[in-house]
Structure 1
Amino acid sequence: MIPELKKNTEQKMQKSLEALKNDLGKVRTGRAHTGLLDHVMVDYYGTPTAINQVANVTLLDARTIGVQPWEKPMIAKVEKAIRDADLGLNPSTMGDIVRVPMPMLTEERRKDLIKVVRSEAEDARIAIRNLRRDANHSLKEAVKAKEISEDDDRRTQDDVQKLTDRYIAEADKMLALKEQELLQV
């Protein structure tokens, strides 16, 4: 029971870190990357569809993303979806390709993005601490039901605390890297 509890808790903490990594990846720096448009949904004949399912998304240069829809009628819909995605991007159509230039980040915008990134990291730390609380609660229930001894409970709580500390430190490291990336001019 105890090894299973520790394993499940660690897996859930790892998933929290992966979610943080995905969230941090969506916060853009001054450089273009195709992952920025991953969550943009296009109206494809009445069905919301991921942009990479209706178009080829590539980097044209370091500061421009190119989106080339596979069907000609989709060009206007793709452009509208990118504009409406609230990413602060202003796409423009050139023939059969939609160009998405990355605007330069102002100092004020960088500070706003750092606030967003810190909020995301804090959410991840809260999720990790909640997992610790849930594991400790399960241990207390097992002690009440006399499934494990109090010594096992204390030892396992210490192990869960070490896991928590390790994953929170990892989240802090990811936050520091993203902040450093955002502050680069």
Structure 2
Amino acid sequence: MTVAQGRSNYLRLLPVVIFVVIAGFFAMALRSGDPSLLPSTLVGKPVPQTTFPAVEGLEVTAGKSEPGFTSADLAKGKISVVNYWASWCVPCVDEHPMLEQLKEESGVDIYGVNYKDQAAAARRFLGRYGNPFTAVGTDADGRAAIDWGVYGTPETFVVNGRGHVIYKHVGPITPDSLKTKLLPIIAKAKAEAAAAAAGPSS
């Protein structure tokens, strides 16, 4: 076999090798029961340029509509959280109290994305379980979810003040993941932002 033939065979096999590696990550996550092990290409990168329209008819108070949001809202200097959810998502019901606790303990703004849902169903869900969100947008056709790399609901992203994703949590937030993952990551991001704002010490 010539060198050229060997290189050609290698290039033909490369896509297969990459596929096997990625499939291995998915298999490991599924076998371990920890979906948060699924890889995310967004971590360390800016959030996708996205506009999430408001949920039709959703009101913060009587006569005042709950706003949607855009990716620009996630780059205004504050740590924030983006949570993909849906009224038809059973794990989202279990997770919802954790979002309330996350907001209370971390003090961050939480932006909700209502995924492939009906506006009336979304309003009923928030009316029944509470609304922990600073703003609620919609991804009715799921196109934005593709850009965000969402596998399914619920999924949660921690975003730094520059609009970069610093952590992705796949699956429902649990008391354990809230305590051992999300809160420490948010606390670290806040400390880093404060240190950067203070500048170099003299």
TM-score exceeds 0.5: no
Bigger share in helix = 1
Q: Which has the larger radius of gyration?
A: 1
TM-score, normalised via structure 1 length: 0.28
TM-score, normalised via structure 2 length: 0.27
